[in-house]
């Protein structure tokens, strides 16, 4: 009988200190997140130095909690996975060095994981993948369409040319005077408003799966500014609804087009903005008559966590990816480069 | 007692292994870069050449700052996680004290410092017996030197940032300033490891960096709170 395999993962790329353990690639058995959101609220955004300070205070605490939750000891772990990038460099460094130390102390294999690969693989904890698979990754730092033909292979077929969708959300939220983090606030506000303002949608050139949100962001800010000057009444609910309808329309339409062109079997949504109810319902409506299935992870797996890193790390581990003791944090790690790295010589 | 000592808090990357209370090996580079890349390979190399396995370690010593915020965290993340994984005690040693060990047998007073930019230094003061006689602080070097001059005591200055402040030191302190050659300014992880044998460990979850300085965003936020 094949024995069970346990991957322990660490994620510290932004403002959550997280550890998780996944059993046999797809079964989440422990998931611990120490969130810093309260600490960053007063600054209106994540402050990198403060995030790093929290990580160093929490790192061994979350490691201990995750083993307790899983009722395992360090000896039972088969490999240690860690987010190596992208993310905030100082924050990533805490996790990377902790992972190296744990792996070295217990002489366990070490696997570096790309944060976005993690967001995609969060979905595999819910349902097995079917290829070809298209993933829409939307978060504070990312807006990408990624095509996968098999496990561990990632092809970026579309990406943002300027701001990430989440960035636009935060900026608009701040202008509307909403508290941080702005995404969920706009989502809530939009639900009570109507799309009364026709902001221009950035479709870009025909056939392109790229995105652009800086024009929309400026249009919203200008609209608010002009209304204020003319002392014109603008309902914040309607501004939020109009902004959100625009973002959601572009995201869901391009996702549908890409899914059809590449004949994918599954479409999955990943990243913090996947928690957005407007995006969820737009995608559900668009894909209701499609042959492919649409997967949106539960809210708890949309935001940053280590379960997703363990899920992606487990596959990388099975495929033979191994990090050396000189593994570093890589704040600008690309998904394609990550997929090709870490394999031993014979496998390449 | 077998101790692994780690210092990545400033210019140096230093690792030492103490075996049965003797210095078995020490590895120090002072190129102030890639601490994160080079630390674990350095530990691995030193442990291999001294034939030490992780399970044979009884204690970890680590420099807790002040220093480079990121550098301090690289050392602490490593030391804390190793200590936690191996279930052994961890002892935090001040990065300033680690430098002061280099002046242990000087008959006057010993002043270790690190440059903290904009005329500021992280510093403290030790007497001839190695006792700290001034709290660690982040102060203007000019003010600090005038305070030291008033003690009318010969003072040994130890710092890898010496060149930034040397002129000011000699012009204010005159003959009271003693400045040794380069190798003395370099903290030795072996001294930290030996000191750690005699020190009380800190529970691993509670060992935190000693930044001696607030994060800039936090300082500005507090300033705004006070104004309003
Ligand atoms: Zn993320």
- Residues A126-160 pLDDT 10s: 999 999 999 999 988 889 999 999 999 999 999 99
| Concatenated DSSP letters of A240-291 | HHHHHHHHHHHHHHHHHHHHHHTT-SEEEEESGGGG-HHHHHHHHHHTTT-S
CA of A119 to the centre of ligand 1 (A): 7
CB B218 within 8 A of CB A50: yes
Whether A47 and chain B come into contact, CB under 8 Å, resolves to yes
Q: Which of residues 316-345 of A touch B (CB under 8 A)?
A: 324-329
Where residue A301 falls among pLDDT bands split at 50, 70, 90?
Answer: confident
Rounded to an integer, the average pLDDT of A90-100 is: 98
Tokens representing A90 are 């100082």
Q: Any idea where the domains of chain A sit in the sequence?
A: 6-120+302-340, 128-296
φ/ψ of B20, rounded to 5, equals 50, 45
CB B11 within 8 A of CB B68: no
Cβ-defined contact of B77 to A328 (cutoff 8 Å)? no
pLDDT at A2: 74
State the smallest CA–CA distance between residue A78 and chain B in angstroms.
Answer: 14
φ/ψ of A23, rounded to 5, equals -105, 135
Out of B34, B37, B78, the one facing A101 most closely (by C-beta) is: B78
A6-120+302-340 with A128-296: one CATH topology? yes
Select from 1.10.1240.10, 3.20.20.80, 3.20.20.10, 3.30.420.40 the CATH code of A6-120+302-340: 3.30.420.40
* Helix and strand numbers, DSSP H then E, in chain A: 12, 10
pLDDT at A343: 62
Give the separation between CA A17 and CA A34, rounded to whole angstroms: 5
The helix-helix angle for B162-173 and B141-150 (nearest 10°) equals 40
**pLDDT(A345) > 70:** no
Tokens representing B81 are 């996680």
Q: Please state the ipTM of this predicted complex.
A: 0.96
**pLDDT(A164) > 80:** yes
Protein residues within 5 Å, CB atom, of ion ligand 1 = A 139, 304
CA of A16 to the centre of ligand 1 (A): 10
CA of A94: which chain B residue's CA is closest?
Answer: B77
- Residues B50-74 pLDDT 10s: 999 999 999 999 999 999 999 999 9
Give the separation between CA B53 and CA A32, rounded to whole angstroms: 30
Roughly how many angstroms between the first and final C-alpha of chain A, as a whole number?
Answer: 30
Out of B43, B79, B215, the one facing A47 most closely (by C-beta) is: B215
Best interface-test mutation with A: which of B9, B15, B34, B36 has the largest number of A CBs within 10 A? B36
Where residue A37 falls among pLDDT bands split at 50, 70, 90?
Answer: confident
Out of A42, A43, A104, the one facing B40 most closely (by C-beta) is: A104
CB A183 within 8 A of CB A170: yes
Question: For residue A279, which of A186, A157, A206 has the smallest C-alpha distance?
Answer: A186
CA of A11 to the centre of ligand 1 (A): 10
**pLDDT(A117) > 80:** yes
Helix (H, G, I), strand (E, B) or coil at A186: helix
Best interface-test mutation with A: which of B13, B34, B40 has the largest number of A CBs within 10 A? B40
- Tokens 């039972």, residue located: A76
Report the DSSP pairing between strands A16-23 and A110-114. Answer: unpaired
- Residues B147-159 pLDDT 10s: 999 999 999 999 9
- Give residues with Cβ within 8 angstroms of B29, minimum separation 6: B12, B13, B38, B42
Q: State which fold the A128-296 domain adopts.
A: Nucleotidyltransferase; domain 5 (3.30.420)
Whether A17 and chain B come into contact, CB under 8 Å, resolves to no
CA of B53 to the centre of ligand 1 (A): 37
State the smallest CA–CA distance between residue B9 and chain A in angstroms.
Answer: 14
**pLDDT(B15) > 70:** yes
Query: Among positive and negative, which fits the CA dihedral A271, A272, A273, A278?
Result: positive
CA of A106: which chain B residue's CA is closest?
Answer: B85
- Give residues with Cβ within 8 angstroms of A348, minimum separation 6: none
Where residue A125 falls among pLDDT bands split at 50, 70, 90?
Answer: very high
Tokens representing A35 are 């969130």
CB B149 within 8 A of CB B159: no
């Amino acid at each position: 009988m094949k024995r069970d395999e346990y991957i322990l993962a660490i994620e510290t790329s932004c403002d959550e200190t997280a550890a998780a353990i996944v059993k046999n690639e797809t079964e989440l058995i422990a998931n611990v997140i120490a969130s810093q959101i309260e600490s960053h609220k007063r600054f209106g955004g994540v402050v990198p130095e403060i995030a790093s300070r929290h990580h160093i205070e929490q790192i061994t605490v979350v490691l201990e909690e995750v083993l307790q939750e899983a009722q395992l000891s360090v000896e039972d772990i088969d490999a240690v996975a860690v987010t190596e990038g992208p993310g905030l460099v100082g924050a990533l460094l805490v996790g990377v060095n902790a992972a190296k130390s744990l792996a070295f102390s217990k002489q366990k294999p070490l696997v570096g994981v790309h944060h976005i690969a993690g967001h995609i693989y969060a979905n595999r904890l819910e349902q097995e993948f079917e290829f070809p698979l298209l993933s829409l990754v939307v978060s504070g730092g990312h807006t990408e369409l990624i095509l996968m033909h098999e496990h561990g292979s990632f092809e970026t077929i579309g990406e943002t040319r300027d701001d990430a969708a989440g960035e636009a959300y935060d900026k608009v939220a701040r202008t509307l005077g909403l508290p941080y983090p702005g995404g969920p606030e706009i989502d809530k506000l939009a639900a009570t408003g109507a799309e009364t303002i026709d902001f221009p949608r950035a479709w870009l050139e025909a056939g392109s799966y790229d995105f652009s949100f800086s024009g929309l962001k400026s249009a919203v800010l200008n609209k608010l500014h002009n209304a204020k000057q003319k002392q014109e009444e603008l309902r914040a609910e309607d501004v939020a609804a109009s902004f959100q309808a625009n973002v959601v329309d572009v995201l869901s339409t391009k996702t549908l087009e890409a899914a059809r062109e590449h004949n994918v079997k599954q479409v999955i949504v990943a990243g913090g903005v996947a928690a957005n109810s407007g995006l969820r319902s737009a995608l559900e409506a668009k894909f209701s008559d499609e042959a492919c299935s649409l997967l949106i992870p539960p809210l708890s797996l949309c935001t940053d966590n280590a379960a997703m890193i363990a899920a992606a790390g487990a596959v990388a581990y099975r495929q033979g990816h191994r990090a050396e003791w000189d593994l570093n944090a890589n704040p600008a790690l690309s998904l394609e480069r990550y997929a090709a790295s870490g394999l031993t010589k014979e496998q390449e | 007692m077998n101790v692994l000592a780690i210092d990545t808090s400033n210019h140096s990357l230093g690792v030492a292994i103490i075996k049965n209370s003797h210095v078995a090996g020490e590895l120090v580079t002072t190129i102030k870069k890639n601490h994160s890349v080079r630390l674990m390979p350095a530990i691995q190399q030193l442990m291999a050449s001294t034939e030490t396995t992780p399970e044979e370690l009884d204690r970890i010593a680590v420099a807790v700052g002040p220093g480079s915020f990121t550098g301090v965290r690289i050392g602490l993340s490593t030391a804390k996680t190793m200590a936690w994984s191996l279930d052994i005690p961890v002892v935090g040693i001040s990065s300033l004290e680690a430098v002061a060990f280099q002046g242990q047998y000087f008959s006057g007073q010993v002043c270790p410092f690190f440059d903290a930019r904009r005329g500021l230094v992280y510093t403290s003061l030790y007497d001839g017996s190695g006792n700290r006689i001034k709290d660690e602080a982040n102060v203007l070097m000019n003010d600090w030197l005038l305070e030291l001059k008033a003690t009318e005591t010969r003072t040994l200055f130890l710092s890898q940032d010496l060149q930034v402040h040397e002129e000011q030191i000699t012009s204010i302190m005159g003959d009271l300033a003693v400045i040794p050659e380069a190798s003395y300014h370099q903290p030795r992880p072996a001294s930290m490891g030996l000191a750690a044998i005699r020190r009380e460990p800190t529970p691993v979850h509670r060992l935190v960096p000693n930044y001696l300085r607030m994060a800039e965003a936090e300082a500005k936020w507090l300033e705004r709170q006070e104004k309003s």
